[in-house]
Each structure stands twice: as C-alpha cells, then as structure tokens.
Amino acid sequence: MPASSTKISTIVRNYLILATLRTSFRLQGWFMPSTAVQRAGRLFTLPHPSARRRAMTAPTYDAQETDLLIDGLSIHVYRWGDPLHQPYVLFAHGWSSHGTRVANWIAPLRAAGYAVVTFDQAAHGRSDGTQTNLPEFACHLLAVGRRYGPAAAVIGHSLGGAAAAVALAHGLQARRAVLIAPPADPLVMAEQFARMVGLARHLSRRMFAMFERSMRFSVEELQAQNLAPRIAQPALIVHDLEDREVPWSEGERYARYWADSWLVSTRGLGHHRIADDQSVIAASLRFLRGETVGQRVVSSPNLPYGFA
C-alpha cells in the first residue's frame, strides 16, 4: 500500500476511534456519571499504548543503564559520563515519551563537559507501572536527583518541564533549569482531555477532584503562577508560538512569574520538534554557561505582560 494511502487509513481509523470514544463518554455521562468519571480518570493517567513499544525499540546510545527502586517501582535510568564525579544534567521527558528522547542533547552536553542522566518515568519505557500523573513525575524526578546529587541543570520537555518546576519548588538541587514547552496548569490539562473525549465539563471537574484527593500535592501547588515564585534558580523557558498541544501562553506564564527567568520564543517547531532543534540546544548550552539568552518577561496590574 502506498505511504499516502497508509497515512490516510491511519487518520481515518484514529478519527473513528475518537468519535466512538466521545459518543460512549457522552452516553455514559448521562446515564452513569460516576462510572464515566472513574473511567475518564483511568484513561487520563494512562500513557499512549504505543509509547512503551516505541521506547523499547529505541536505541540507548551506549548508555550505562541501571534500575532504581522508587515508590516500589523499578525505574530505569540511563547515564552518559560519571554524574558522581562530573557536573551533570538531569533530563525529564514528557508524557508518552521516554528517557532516550534526550538523544540529540547527548553529544553537545558531553562535549561541553557534562554527564547526562535521564530515566523512563513510571508507566513509560522500561520502567514499571501502568498509570502515572504529574505529581508522580515530580516525585520520581526528585528521587533520581537525590540519588546522583546536586545537578548542574535540570532540563524538562512538556510534562517533564512542569515536573521539573514542581521538583525544584520541593527541593530538587539543580543550579539552573531549562523548561521546554511546559504546561502551566493541570486543571487546563484535565479540561482539554475532557473536551477531547467528550466528557461533560462538570464531570471533568469531578474527575479532577478525585485526583486531588489522592495526589501528593494540591492543585494550587502544581500551577505555574504559584510554583514559579518559590524557585530561586535561574531558568530558561523555551516555547513555540505555534505549539498546538501546549499554547505558548503557558510557557510565558512560567516566565512571567519566575523572578530569575528568560523566555525564548520559537516559531514553526511545534510541541515536539522544539525538543530536538539544534538552535534550542545551542541556546540552552549558552544559558548553562551563564550567558544571557532570550527575553525577560515583566508584568504589572496595568501591563498583563511585556518584554524587558
């Protein structure tokens, strides 16, 4: 079958699956709302099934590999260099991704004298688990950071960027931070998910309330405007103006409330390619060297935001 026909077939199949899912949630929301909330909650914390398969077949680039026991789960760690004797960068991947997503960063970071540590989050890649969430992302990042000691920097993409902010606010030791396309508010994420699957708005709030009762942090502790002012480390926020998954305004929110931060806005890289872009990697390395990169974001009651 030609590649174009295969692509069209995949798009049609995915559309039909999503349409069926939406219909079932609408019907279940009317007749069995509590069941719909429970079902949506499970689905919201379940990484895409194909993500683990991709991770298991992805190359590991001659990494030193080990497993750490965290919260009763075996968490798979990848290392390049010696983080116990070299300055190291701790990398946090995003949702439905995996640790070796850091591939394009390894050579530039190693050439700059850094060791690199990354890992598969629970329910991702070679790590244990079937479900996870932002608080667990942050707690596992904290645990890996404690294992290897203070980092020269933490770099997080997408949900890994949000987890890095949460971890820094709760004691992660890293001299600098680079957040790439970070979501700013888990409530927004829940509402986006609810719209996608056809769950009614009032039921999506019940779903999130269910999460709050079981989470290690309150929702307020996970929102950028409350997290960022608590973090003293310098940060570089990188976000694409055309990001369709996590809008640029969410990265800007981190930069606006993070006292010692700088914002780099790209165009045309979207949500995923931005994490592999050579210009983004180069800008991040300059930032790690202490150079001024990007723009300062300022705000006041009369000026929602602006650049200094």
Domain extents in the chain:
32-307
Mean pLDDT of the chain: 88
Q: What are phi and psi of 233, to 5 degrees?
A: -70, 145
Quote the Cα angle for 132-138-143, to 5°. Answer: 105
Task: Classify strands 261-266 and 235-240 as parallel, antiparallel or unpaired.
Answer: parallel
pTM (2 d.p.): 0.88
Q: What per-residue confidence (pLDDT) applies to 188?
A: 87
Going from the C-alpha of 38 to that of each of 27, 32, 190, the distances in angstroms are 14, 10, 13
Q: How far apart are CA 95 and CA 78, in angstroms?
A: 18
Closest to 224 (Cα-Cα) out of 167, 171, 178, 183: 183
Q: What is the pLDDT of residue 1?
A: 45
Strand, coil or helix: 58: coil
pLDDT of residue 195: 82
Give the burial string for 212-250 (b: 16+ CB within 10 Å, else e).
Answer: eeebebebebbbbeebbeebebbbbbbbbeebeebbbeb
32-307: what fold? Rossmann fold (3.40.50)
Between CA 147 and CA 224, with CA 83 as vertex, the angle to 5 degrees is 65
| Model pLDDT for residues 122-142, shown as the tens digit of each residue | 999 999 999 999 999 999 999
Question: What's the confidence (pLDDT) of residue 12?
Answer: 41
Give the model's confidence band at 302: pLDDT under 50 very low, under 70 low, under 90 confident, else very high.
very low
pLDDT-wise least confident of 127-136, 143-152, 193-202? 193-202
Query: What is residue 299's predicted lDDT score, i.e. its pLDDT?
Result: 60
Q: How many CB atoms lie within 10 A of CB 169?
A: 19
Find, among 97, 139, 99, the residue nearest to 117 by Cα. 99
Q: Which residues contact 158 (CB under 8 A, 6 or more apart)?
A: 93, 94, 95, 97, 180, 181, 182, 183, 245, 246, 271, 275
